[in-house]
């Protein structure tokens, strides 16, 4: 595994951090369609497939996940703090020159400690009305699951707002996924120091998430 991990030194990891339903999976698919240098990280997970055709995961059983871990093939392995589902990667998960990963804010530091050639963190946000519509489409009824996702959203946005180094903001423009994907590629390929400018959508989205949680 040590020799295999050395292969990561040839690759760039692009971590996309943001609330559930902000459009991370769809965006990663769009980026890969535009630029063949990019691939999404094919993590394995015990989370059930949503069946919408947008999953970037390899869905496995708990037994399969345990076998992958026990045989020493995992690069990363964690349990989602709100759902309890297992998520993991192997060397084969990172197939591109630039590897896109939907990442929990709590996992960013662990990935940064892996021997990638470079890691880039992008905080994804969008207009509050669009996000609320996407969220309620996925979780239409008040439930424990929706409450967990709202809390996770607040934690994710607050984490991004605290970042001052090595973080880039990207606004997912509703109705123009291709344009957003093009801007992500430009962010990754631009080596200049990221600016600390926070888009107004980020703070507005945080307030919307807090309001939705309050009136669950």
Residue 193 has pLDDT above 70, yes or no: no
Going by pLDDT thresholds of 50, 70 and 90, the confidence category of residue 56 is: confident
- Looking at residue 192, its pLDDT comes to 61
pLDDT, residue 98, reads 97
Q: Tell me: the pLDDT tens digits for 7-39?
A: 899 999 999 999 999 999 999 999 999 999 999
Structural domains counted in the chain: 1
- Listing DSSP states for the chain in one string gives -HHHHHGGGG-EEEEEE--TTSSHHHHHHHHHHH-TTEEE---EESSPP-SSS---SEE--HHHHHHHHHTT-EEEEEE-TTT--EEEEEGGG--SSEEEEE--GGGHHHHHTS--SEEEEEEEE--HHHHHHHHHHHS-S--HHHHHHHHHHHHHHHHHHH--SS-EEEE--TT-HHHHHHHHHHHHH--SPPP-PPPHHHHHHHHHHHHHHHT-
Residue 11 domain boundaries: 2-214
CATH code of 8's domain: 3.40.50.300
Q: How confident is the model at residue 6 (pLDDT cuts 50, 70, 90)?
A: confident
């Amino acid at each position: 595994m040590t020799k295999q991990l050395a292969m990561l030194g040839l690759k760039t990891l692009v971590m996309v951090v943001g609330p559930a339903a902000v459009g991370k999976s769809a965006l990663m698919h769009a980026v890969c369609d535009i630029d063949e240098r990019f691939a999404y990280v094919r993590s394995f997970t015990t989370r059930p497939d949503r069946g919408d055709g947008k999953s970037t995961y390899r869905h496995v059983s708990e037994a399969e996940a345990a076998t992958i871990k026990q045989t020493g093939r995992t690069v990363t392995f964690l349990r989602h703090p709100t759902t309890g589902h297992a998520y993991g990667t192997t060397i084969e998960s990172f197939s591109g020159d630039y590897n896109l990963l939907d990442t929990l804010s709590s996992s960013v530091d662990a990935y940064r400690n892996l021997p990638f050639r470079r890691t880039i963190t992008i905080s994804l946000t969008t207009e509050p009305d669009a996000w609320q519509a996407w969220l309620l489409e996925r979780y239409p009824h008040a439930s424990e699951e929706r409450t967990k996702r709202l809390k996770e959203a607040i934690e994710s946005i607050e984490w991004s707002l605290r970042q001052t180094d090595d973080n880039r903001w990207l606004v997912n423009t509703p109705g123009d996924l291709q344009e957003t994907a093009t801007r992500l590629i430009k962010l990754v390929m631009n080596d200049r120091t990221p600016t600390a400018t926070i888009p107004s959508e980020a703070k507005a989205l945080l307030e919307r998430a807090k309001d939705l949680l309050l009136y669950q």
